[in-house]
Amino acid sequence: MSVILKRLIEKVAHMDITLLAGENGLSNDVTWIHMVETSLATSFLDGGEIAFVTGVAVNTPDELLGLVRSICRKNAAGIILNTGPYLDHVPQCVIEYCDRHDLPLFEVPWRIHLAEIMRIFSYAITKADSRDTETAAAFRNAIFFPEQKDLYMIPLTHLSFQPEWKYTVCAVSPSDHERYAKSTLEQKASTVFGNLSHKYSDFSVFLSDTQILAVLGNYSNEKLHDFVRDMNYYLRLTFPQPTAFLWGIGKTTKSIRCLYKSYRQASAVQKLQSKGNLRPDQIFYSEMGLYKLLMNIDDEDIISDYLQNTVQPIINYDHDNSTDLMGVLRAYLEHDGSVKETAEKLFVHRNTINYYLGKIKELTGMDLSSLNVKTQLTTALMLMNIE
């Protein structure tokens, strides 16, 4: 995915490379390298590259400053200037500009072969990308093919993720995910991963369909909450504002073998979020109350039978008569059986609500004044939310 600039520079520290400006940007993520000699060439930058400049097409300090400005506007990770026959020194105006914009600016003398630095950088980025890809692939297999242990147990062990660690899955999707191409979501997931890697280890972030998944290895509850807070911060920096996100965080597993359970739980919470049945801050499966039990009913016949014996007659009546008795029932239960508050919520007279409740009783044969009946109907509505 990417490598932090500071770590790349450490690999060539013996090659007389000098930081001139932009020290605050040394934590930038580097996605690749690129030779950039003209402002026109900056159009090929996608963001995150290290731009190498020899000055062969630059005649004045102002022209060099213009080139640096163009590189900065393309969100490059840093610039390496090769001083020598084409560029005898780095102008002060360029140094000051890079400092103001936290754009790391390095000087390398002509006697140092840029090709060797580029080779070292390319190898390091490719190696890091390969490891990240292998890690994501192994976690995908653990989630979607849990019975095929060979697809993830051995690879993850080789990648320093121990099978007996406790794992947690975080699932996040932009609510307007349909507006983004898959490649765009993958790039944004990579950016979030790179930012988080400055502070955290033993985790992976990758895209699955429209979900950005984070798998955390052996995180304490406190560290998990810190990670979620920071991931939310970087998501909001990466996506355009205002973007709403659907979150779901599964239960921490006993081992890698149960990772699929954490994923399913996270996805179930996301589904509830998407239907507006949870507050935005209700994202942890462990805090779902009764929903935790209902989410784990795998037999669809059980759910269908329960609904048939509770709310299905109301649903059928609404469908046949273009009414909304289910909306009345939901409002009634949400207001703890208060006819007055239900009437105020729906902007109708109390007698109208009493009429509707009588119709619901007629259809279901259930006494809505009974606490047991209210509990049954509330459970039915929760099951409908999960479906």
Per cent of the chain over pLDDT 90 is 75
Q: What is the mean pLDDT of residues 321-331?
A: 94
Options 3.40.50.720, 3.30.70.270, 3.10.110.10, 2.60.120.620; CATH of 128-288? 3.30.70.270
CA separation for the pair 157, 308 (Å, rounded): 48
Superfamily of chain region 300-386 = PucR C-terminal helix-turn-helix domain (1.10.10.2840)
Contacts of 374 (CB under 8 A, 6+ apart): 333, 337, 368
Residue 337 is encoded by which pair of tokens?
């059986």
Domain boundaries defined on the chain: 3-112, 128-288, 300-386
- With 60 as the cut, is the pLDDT of residue 1 above it? no
Positive or negative: CA dihedral 220, 223, 225, 227: negative
- With 80 as the cut, is the pLDDT of residue 191 above it? yes
Q: What is the pLDDT of residue 36?
A: 97
Q: What is the mean pLDDT of residues 230-234?
A: 95
Residue 297: pLDDT band by 50, 70, 90 thresholds? confident
DSSP 123-184: HHHHHHHHHHHHHHHHHHHHHH-TT-GGGTHHHHHHTT--TTS-EEEEEEEETTGGGS-HHH
Residue 57 is encoded by which pair of tokens?
């097409």
Q: What is the mean pLDDT of residues 197-226?
A: 94
Q: What is the pLDDT of residue 2?
A: 65
CA separation for the pair 123, 90 (Å, rounded): 28
Question: Domain 3-112, what fold?
Answer: 3.40.1390
Q: What is the pLDDT of residue 29?
A: 84
- With 80 as the cut, is the pLDDT of residue 298 above it? no
- With 60 as the cut, is the pLDDT of residue 69 above it? yes
Q: What is the mean pLDDT of residues 301-311?
A: 89
